[in-house]
Chains A and B, each alone.
Chain A
Amino acid sequence: MTPETVMAGERRAAFDHLRLEGVTRRFGSAVALSELDLRIEGGEFLALLGPSGCGKSTALNCLAGLLPLSAGSIWLDGERIDGLPPERRGFGMVFQNYALFPHLSVRRNVAFGLSVRRVGKAEIRRRVDEALALVELTEHAGKLPGQLSGGQQQRVAIARAVVLRPRLVLMDEPLSNLDAKLRVQMRTEIRRMHQDLGLTTVYVTHDQEEALALADRLVVLRAGKVEQIGTPEEVYTYPSSTYIAGFMGYRNLLGLPAVTTENGRVVVGEGAFRLTGVPQERVSGPRAVAAVRPEDFRRAGPGDRNTLDVRVEVSEFHGREVAAEGVTEGGHVIHFRLPERVAPGERIELAVPVERVLVFAGTGAGTRAGTGARTGEAAGPADAAGPEEA
């Protein structure tokens, strides 16, 4: 497969930038998307990330033209496009459930967009062949979508979107219906295609691992509003809120009073329990939240400063490491990972680097973050495989 030579003509992005200004979408009185301002550079891979109901799919559908905006505007370079119907925007889209035309063969699915544009027969044949070769489905060209596996259907959906050489490719959780192994494999394929074909891609997902792996830039949404925009490294290492921290695998969100703040360090704790960390925002008052990722803990050795004592309650073997749960004297549950097995009931001392304890102002956000933590947990062991401290 040599896509570079196949579609070498399209390596450059079709536009300079796409701009969303105050894009808002209401459903009745509910605001699904509120005043979204965003600039997407040509050639960029942008991921919209957030749990279900955060407005990411709404944003994508507004961008596609499938949902009219309640307010705001969308500009492609100098042209305003939010009034255009989807068929005249020249974007491609890959749907979560693939949305293949069930009555058409794979070949005719891919050819559909070209044929409604009255492209010549020979040209259609050539481009469809290219696209099918790109997704390695040439030998399945005559089959109906119902005869294909999920992964193959997914490839057809991608080929169908890409064959039109769209200015922008929109992907709506395209991997969420695949099993874990295939998901990782297809993820690489999508990223490779993005680079090789010089596409501009907006990718919607609720899976932070997927977003981190694929995107040049992440937009984390929460309740219809932007919570943080940044590169995967920025968002992962320096989440701007406990919400994002929870989402990014910071499973330990400890609601603790701030004791002292000095020299860019903050000490939180109660009773004998003390933890020093880096304040991410102005921390004052009795409530603060310390966010720590399980894999940043290690067993304390001599000379370690930032330590805490826990009693192990549960430990699970995860292959390379052991994920364990312990309780501090004060009743705080601590999730941590160790290279070796620990027995329930055992008392151990854990240490964590000061710069890996992120302290946020705790304004009752702890409960919200708790749900985020559960979402982050779904990625499981892969947390460690993320671009840690890149």
Chain B
Amino acid sequence: MAVDTERTTPGTPRAPRRTGGLRHRLAERGVDRVLLLLVPALLVVILLFLYPMMYGVGLSLQPQKGGGMLANYRAFFDDPYQRDTIWKTLRLALPAALINVGVSVPIAYRLRGRFRGRRALTAILVLPVTLGTVLVADGLLRYLGPKGWFNRILLDLGLVDQPVRLIYNYWGVLFSLIITGFPFAFLLVLAYMSGIDPTLERAAATLGAGPWQRMRRILLPLLAPGLATTFVLAFVLAFSVFPSANLVGEPADETRVMAIAAYQSAFEKYDYSMASTIAVLMGAFELLVISVTLLVRGRLYTGPSAGGKGA
């Protein structure tokens, strides 16, 4: 024990003015044995997250077919079949994230107060998040299929003559992203919205601001950082779409997203190097979006509530 080392130090029986130098100085900076508690968890994260990521980056720079460090990246961008996955992923992720966040705001605005059944509503909305994309995709196959209830309703109402094709294409995947993503975005926005003091709006009202002005000049500025965070999370979630793109999409063509390309490289072509390359590109893209949004968020953050806590 560190305690004993100090007591057994011989030759300093009386009033040494500086004791345990380094240990004390470290303790003053918050470094002491308590930090050992952090080590096992950190080790796991380093071994199972950081190391594989680094390994993946390293692997992506060692192409199986040779041709220099960046050959994989060049190959990815030269091959339209691979390159287009970026566009296809974005074409799904961006609308999904925008719809999910955009629709959440007005609805959360209405529902932010206390009302009967709020807890029940949130519980129901959590359901699709809990069920996950696989189950939602399976449900969409039944519900939106040519013989499913959705087309049946449209047919019986006379809105269409032929069943509308909503699965095994772009729309099926987009719907699955909305069904799993909207509750997620909505609950986040609702939480942020509920955190805004309602008296602020009343104060604005007494100063003559109408509903639209209150929303635009009080609520939205205060909500902006939360919205930015929500958008990032919703986007990243949609960007990594994988099971539903396979199940309700057209994985060979229209919804061949980056995750599918990476998966195919790894587990169908056994080109782990190329798979890592695509994974690295995905990660890089996500981190880029995260950092840009957080950067913008930093600018939005002007209120006194900014950085209330400090890490």
Touching in the complex, A and B, CB below 8 A? yes
Distance between B17 CB and nearest chain A CB, rounded to angstroms: 5
| Contact status of A70 and B17, CB under 8 A, knowing A80-B7, A83-B3 | no
B27 at the interface (CB under 8 A from A): yes
Asked if B28 and A22 make an inter-chain contact with CB atoms under 8 angstroms apart, the answer reads: no
A227 at the interface (CB under 8 A from B): no
A361 at the interface (CB under 8 A from B): no
Asked if B3 and A82 make an inter-chain contact with CB atoms under 8 angstroms apart, the answer reads: no
Asked if B24 and A69 make an inter-chain contact with CB atoms under 8 angstroms apart, the answer reads: yes
A142 at the interface (CB under 8 A from B): no
Q: Which residues of A sit under 8 angstroms from B25, Cβ to Cβ?
A: 70
Asked if A70 and B24 make an inter-chain contact with CB atoms under 8 angstroms apart, the answer reads: yes
Q: Which residues of A sit under 8 angstroms from B24, Cβ to Cβ?
A: 68-71
Asked if B19 and A71 make an inter-chain contact with CB atoms under 8 angstroms apart, the answer reads: yes
Asked if A70 and B7 make an inter-chain contact with CB atoms under 8 angstroms apart, the answer reads: no
CB contact list, B210-226 vs A, under 8 A: none
Cβ 8 A contact of A83, one of B6, B17, B27, B29: B6
A151 at the interface (CB under 8 A from B): no
Q: How far is the CA of A73 from the CA of B24 in the complex (A)?
A: 13
| Contact status of A83 and B15, CB under 8 A, knowing A26-B28, A28-B28 | no
Asked if B28 and A70 make an inter-chain contact with CB atoms under 8 angstroms apart, the answer reads: yes
Q: How far is the CA of A22 from the CA of B6 in the complex (A)?
A: 17
B18 at the interface (CB under 8 A from A): yes
A364 at the interface (CB under 8 A from B): no
| Smallest CB gap from B1: residue in A | A85
Which range holds the interface residue count of chain B?
Answer: 10 to 19
A377 at the interface (CB under 8 A from B): no
Using a Cβ–Cβ cut-off of 8 Å, how many residues does chain A contribute to the interface with B? 16
Q: How far is the CA of A3 from the CA of B19 in the complex (A)?
A: 42
Q: Which residues of B sit under 8 angstroms from A70, Cβ to Cβ?
A: 18, 24-25, 28
A72 at the interface (CB under 8 A from B): yes
| Smallest CB gap from B25: residue in A | A70
CB contact list, B17-59 vs A, under 8 A: 17-20, 23-25, 27-29
Distance between B3 CB and nearest chain A CB, rounded to angstroms: 5
A21 at the interface (CB under 8 A from B): yes
Asked if B15 and A73 make an inter-chain contact with CB atoms under 8 angstroms apart, the answer reads: yes
Q: How far is the CA of A27 from the CA of B24 in the complex (A)?
A: 11
| Smallest CB gap from A19: residue in B | B15
Q: How far is the CA of A26 from the CA of B19 in the complex (A)?
A: 13
CB contact list, A113-157 vs B, under 8 A: none
Q: How far is the CA of A22 from the CA of B7 in the complex (A)?
A: 18
Distance between B19 CB and nearest chain A CB, rounded to angstroms: 6
| Smallest CB gap from B7: residue in A | A83
Asked if A73 and B28 make an inter-chain contact with CB atoms under 8 angstroms apart, the answer reads: no
A378 at the interface (CB under 8 A from B): no
A184 at the interface (CB under 8 A from B): no
Asked if A72 and B17 make an inter-chain contact with CB atoms under 8 angstroms apart, the answer reads: yes
A348 at the interface (CB under 8 A from B): no
Q: Which residues of B sit under 8 angstroms from A28, Cβ to Cβ?
A: 28-29
| Smallest CB gap from B16: residue in A | A73
CB contact list, A49-71 vs B, under 8 A: 68-71
Cβ 8 A contact of B18, one of A27, A68, A71, A83: A71
Q: How far is the CA of A56 from the CA of B244 in the complex (A)?
A: 64
A178 at the interface (CB under 8 A from B): no
Q: How far is the CA of A133 from the CA of B69 in the complex (A)?
A: 80
Q: Which residues of A sit under 8 angstroms from B14, Cβ to Cβ?
A: 73
Q: How far is the CA of A262 from the CA of B176 in the complex (A)?
A: 97
Asked if B15 and A22 make an inter-chain contact with CB atoms under 8 angstroms apart, the answer reads: yes
Q: How far is the CA of A27 from the CA of B27 in the complex (A)?
A: 10
Q: How far is the CA of A73 from the CA of B28 in the complex (A)?
A: 17
Cβ 8 A contact of B19, one of A27, A82, A84, A85: A82
Q: How far is the CA of A82 from the CA of B19 in the complex (A)?
A: 10
Asked if A68 and B15 make an inter-chain contact with CB atoms under 8 angstroms apart, the answer reads: no
Q: How far is the CA of A22 from the CA of B15 in the complex (A)?
A: 8
Q: How far is the CA of A107 from the CA of B261 in the complex (A)?
A: 65
Asked if A68 and B16 make an inter-chain contact with CB atoms under 8 angstroms apart, the answer reads: no
Distance between A153 CB and nearest chain B CB, rounded to angstroms: 28
Cβ 8 A contact of A68, one of B4, B7, B13, B20: B20
Q: Which residues of B sit under 8 angstroms from A69, Cβ to Cβ?
A: 19, 24
Asked if A68 and B17 make an inter-chain contact with CB atoms under 8 angstroms apart, the answer reads: no
| Smallest CB gap from A83: residue in B | B6
Q: How far is the CA of A27 from the CA of B147 in the complex (A)?
A: 72
Q: How far is the CA of A69 from the CA of B23 in the complex (A)?
A: 10
Q: How far is the CA of A70 from the CA of B27 in the complex (A)?
A: 9
Q: How far is the CA of A84 from the CA of B13 in the complex (A)?
A: 15
Distance between A63 CB and nearest chain B CB, rounded to angstroms: 15
Q: How far is the CA of A287 from the CA of B20 in the complex (A)?
A: 46
Q: Mark A77-110, 1 if CB is under 8 A from B, else 0.
A: 0001011110000000000000000000000000
Distance between B8 CB and nearest chain A CB, rounded to angstroms: 9
Cβ 8 A contact of A85, one of B3, B27, B29: B3
| Contact status of A73 and B19, CB under 8 A, knowing A28-B28, A68-B24, A68-B27 | yes
| Smallest CB gap from A79: residue in B | B7
Q: How far is the CA of A72 from the CA of B6 in the complex (A)?
A: 13
Q: Which residues of B sit under 8 angstroms from A22, Cβ to Cβ?
A: 15, 17
Q: Which residues of A sit under 8 angstroms from B23, Cβ to Cβ?
A: 68
Distance between B124 CB and nearest chain A CB, rounded to angstroms: 34
Q: How far is the CA of A171 from the CA of B25 in the complex (A)?
A: 27
Q: Which residues of A sit under 8 angstroms from B6, Cβ to Cβ?
A: 83
Q: Which residues of B sit under 8 angstroms from A68, Cβ to Cβ?
A: 20, 23-24, 27-28
Q: How far is the CA of A83 from the CA of B16 in the complex (A)?
A: 13
Q: How far is the CA of A84 from the CA of B20 in the complex (A)?
A: 13
Interface residues of B (CB under 8 A from A): 3-4, 6-7, 13-20, 23-25, 27-29
Given A70-B24, A73-B14, A83-B4; 10 other pairs, CB 8 A cutoff:
A22-B15, A22-B17, A26-B28, A68-B27, A69-B24, A70-B25, A70-B28, A71-B19, A83-B6, A84-B3
A-B contact pairs, 27 of them (CB 8 A): A21-B15, A26-B28, A27-B28, A28-B28, A68-B20, A68-B24, A68-B28, A69-B19, A69-B24, A70-B18, A70-B24, A70-B25, A71-B17, A71-B18, A71-B19, A71-B24, A72-B15, A72-B19, A73-B14, A73-B15, A80-B7, A80-B13, A82-B19, A83-B4, A83-B19, A83-B20, A85-B3
8 smallest beta-carbon distances between A and B, as pairs: A83-B6, A21-B15, A71-B18, A83-B7, A68-B27, A71-B17, A83-B3, A68-B24
